[in-house]
């Protein structure tokens, strides 16, 4: 075996991996049908059938209902919009708190602020990086209205436990399921169906992609109606629709276009195949990494289905003798994408540490009577901080059209780097 590329050797891989692209003839034909029809959006902000969108949007929503066995699906222009719609539908506002994860894309928490409420961050669990139920319970206060859980990297959080906690404390549970489409929880239910509502993403780099877009599913009639109002200028139609509860019915334009819906529907029909491809590649990585000391493959809990948006490993520098950052740099030099950590805990972003959001006065933080007690600072979620700064290592190379051979090359690159751990540690600076 030649020495690692970072020490002057030849890299294991010298080719550029193709970008993730699942768009085919079906999507092109579907878009052309929309263009030929001339109706690029079917929405009208009035109390008429078009209030709920065009034919492609309705077909996408029906497909979600049929697949997941839910009564309602609401298509929106992004998963971020979907999270906002879910939260608004729960009636939250100034003074309220929502417990959520610090280890996710920032839109999860910022959507809570958009509603005038504030996020309270509970710590994450070690194995699959979802919310730790014990930490959630410790963070429940008189102002807590619900829990917004994230099924991160493709694996379900501890949804059943969190649902029990929510029920016991008269709270609701919502699921940010952008990264785990058709994952399965320990209760043998699909992710996004355990809580009151759950959101999916069609963002450009998600498993299913239509550029932008999202869908929220729920079995609750009231929640579905409120989300549709928030999606489409609801304040203008409540009288005509005979709606008496107008709390949080003020709407925006969060509508999905017919072209996005057409592409999203084609992508959704491919979901099982897309997930199966990711799982096959991920399982090959897991099998190959089991014998390499210091690298822990993703954990999959009993009766759960992991759908691998990211392949998230845990790295132990004490066992390898090589710092995590140098390890990552060395593997990248071998021609394989890998990164140290995911995102720093959300509460360390300036918007939270300085409590500046809307205007200069600190709203909505100042609307909470516990504002002085809620401190966003380092040490708030120690498990999350340690995992991100020391242990988590991610790769996204488990997507089609990559192959088993590519996975074997990745494993060989890691093995090669760690065989030269001492030399890399002593000779490479970062």
User: What CATH number is associated with residue 290?
Assistant: 3.90.1150.10
Answer yes or no: do 214 and 320 share one domain. Answer: no
Answer yes or no: do 183 and 306 share one domain. Answer: no
Answer yes or no: do 110 and 217 share one domain. Answer: yes
Answer yes or no: do 85 and 161 share one domain. Answer: yes
Answer yes or no: do 302 and 422 share one domain. Answer: yes
CA distances from 87 to 91, 98, 108, 147, 359 (A): 7, 9, 10, 10, 22
Interatomic CA distance for residues 37 and 389, integer angstroms? 52
In percent, how much of the chain has pLDDT > 70?
A: 100
For residue 124, give the CATH number of its domain.
3.40.640.10
Number of domains making up the chain: 2
Last residue of a domain, one of 270, 290, 321: 270
Query: For helices 404-419 and 271-289, what crossing angle results, to 10°?
Result: 30
Answer yes or no: do 243 and 314 share one domain. Answer: no
Per-residue confidence (pLDDT) for residue 421, from 0 to 100: 98
Element (H, E) at 61: helix 55-68
Last residue of a domain, one of 270, 286, 304: 270
Per-residue confidence (pLDDT) for residue 336, from 0 to 100: 98
Answer yes or no: do 266 and 287 share one domain. Answer: no
At 241 the three-state DSSP class reads helix
Q: From the DSSP assignment, how many helices (H) and strands (E) are in the chain? A: 16, 11
Interatomic CA distance for residues 131 and 249, integer angstroms? 30
Q: Tokens representing 316?
A: 């132990």
N-terminal to C-terminal alpha carbon distance within the chain: 25
Per-residue confidence (pLDDT) for residue 427, from 0 to 100: 97
Task: Give the other-Cβ count within 10 Å of 342's Cβ.
Answer: 20
The whole-number average pLDDT for the span 387-393 is: 98
Task: Answer whether residue 357 is part of any domain.
Answer: no
Answer yes or no: do 63 and 9 share one domain. Answer: no
pLDDT digits (tens, 9 = 90+) for 23-76: 999 999 999 999 999 999 999 999 999 999 999 999 999 999 999 999 999 999
Q: Judge whether residue 425 has pLDDT over 90.
A: yes
Domain that holds residue 263: 25-270
The whole-number average pLDDT for the span 89-113 is: 98
Task: Answer whether residue 377 is part of any domain.
Answer: no
Last residue of a domain, one of 246, 270, 294: 270
Answer yes or no: do 83 and 208 share one domain. Answer: yes
Specify whether the CB–CB gap between 298 and 282 falls below 8 A. Answer: yes
The whole-number average pLDDT for the span 281-292 is: 97
pLDDT, averaged across the chain: 97
Q: Judge whether residue 293 has pLDDT over 80.
A: yes
What's the pLDDT band for 187 if we cut at 50, 70, 90? confident
Task: Answer whether residue 352 is part of any domain.
Answer: no
Kind of pairing between the strands at 392-395 and 339-340: antiparallel
In percent, how much of the chain has pLDDT > 90?
A: 99
Specify whether the CB–CB gap between 193 and 166 falls below 8 A. Answer: no
Answer yes or no: do 164 and 213 share one domain. Answer: yes
Q: Does pTM top 0.85 for this prediction? A: yes
Task: Give the other-Cβ count within 10 Å of 287's Cβ.
Answer: 12
Specify whether the CB–CB gap between 150 and 100 falls below 8 A. Answer: yes
Task: Answer whether residue 361 is part of any domain.
Answer: no
Answer yes or no: do 92 and 127 share one domain. Answer: yes
Who's near 253: CB < 8 A, 6+ residues apart?
232, 233
Task: Answer whether residue 378 is part of any domain.
Answer: no
**Which of 222, 278, 256, 233 has its CA nearest to residue 396?**
278
Per-residue confidence (pLDDT) for residue 1, from 0 to 100: 58
Interatomic CA distance for residues 347 and 376, integer angstroms? 5
Per-residue confidence (pLDDT) for residue 10, from 0 to 100: 97
CA distances from 307 to 128, 273, 274, 361 (A): 12, 11, 9, 43
pLDDT digits (tens, 9 = 90+) for 303-359: 999 999 999 999 999 999 999 999 999 999 999 999 999 999 999 999 999 999 999
Who's near 414: CB < 8 A, 6+ residues apart?
289, 292, 295, 331
Interatomic CA distance for residues 227 and 195, integer angstroms? 15
Task: Give the other-Cβ count within 10 Å of 419's Cβ.
Answer: 14
Per-residue confidence (pLDDT) for residue 223, from 0 to 100: 98
Task: Answer whether residue 46 is part of any domain.
Answer: yes
Task: Answer whether residue 151 is part of any domain.
Answer: yes
Answer yes or no: do 265 and 148 share one domain. Answer: yes
Task: Answer whether residue 354 is part of any domain.
Answer: no
């Amino acid at each position: 075996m030649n020495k690692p590329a970072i020490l002057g050797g030849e890299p294991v891989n010298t080719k550029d991996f193709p970008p993730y692209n699942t768009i085919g003839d079906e999507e092109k034909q579907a878009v052309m049908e929309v263009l030929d029809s001339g109706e690029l959006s079917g929405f009208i902000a009035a109390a008429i059938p078009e209030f709920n969108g065009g034919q492609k949007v309705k077909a996408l929503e029906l497909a979600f209902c049929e697949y997941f066995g839910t009564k309602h699906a609401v298509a929106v222009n992004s998963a971020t919009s979907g999270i906002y719609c879910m939260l608004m539908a729960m009636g939250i506002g100034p003074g309220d708190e929502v417990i959520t994860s610090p280890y996710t894309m920032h839109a999860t928490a910022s959507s809570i602020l958009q509603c005038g409420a504030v996020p309270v961050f509970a710590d994450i669990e070690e194995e699959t990086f979802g919310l730790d139920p014990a930490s959630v319970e410790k963070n429940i206060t008189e102002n807590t209205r619900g829990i917004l859980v994230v099924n991160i990297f493709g694996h379900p959080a501890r949804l059943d436990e969190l649902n029990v906690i929510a029920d016991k404390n008269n709270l609701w549970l919502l699921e940010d399921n952008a990264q785990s489409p058709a994952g399965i929880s320990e209760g043998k239910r699909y992710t996004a169906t355990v809580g009151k509502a759950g959101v999916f993403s069609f963002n450009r780099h998600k498993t299913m992609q239509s550029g932008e877009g999202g869908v929220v599913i729920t079995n609750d009639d009231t929640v579905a109606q409120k989300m549709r109002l928030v999606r489409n200028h609801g304040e203008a139609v409540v009288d005509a629709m005979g709606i008496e509860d107008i709390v949080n019915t003020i709407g925006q334009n969060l509508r999905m276009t017919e072209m996005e819906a057409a592409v999203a529907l084609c992508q959704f029909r491919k979901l099982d195949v897309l997930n199966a491809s990711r799982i096959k590649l991920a399982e090959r990585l897991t099998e190959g990494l089991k014998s390499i000391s210091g690298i822990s493959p993703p954990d999959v809990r009993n009766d759960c289905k992991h759908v691998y948006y990211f392949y998230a490993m845990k790295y132990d520098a004490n066992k390898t003798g090589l710092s995590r950052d140098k390890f990552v740099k060395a593997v990248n030099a071998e021609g394989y994408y890998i990164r140290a950590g995911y995102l720093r805990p959300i509460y360390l972003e300036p918007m939270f540490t300085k409590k500046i959001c809307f205007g200069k006065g600190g709203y909505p933080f100042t609307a909470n009577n516990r504002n002085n007690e809620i401190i966003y600072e380092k040490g708030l979620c120690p498990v999350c901080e340690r995992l991100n700064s020391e242990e988590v290592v991610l790769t996204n190379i488990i997507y089609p059209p990559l192959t088993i051979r590519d996975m074997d090359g990745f494993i060989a690159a890691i093995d090669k780097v760690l065989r030269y751990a001492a030399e890399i540690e002593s000779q490479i600076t970062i």
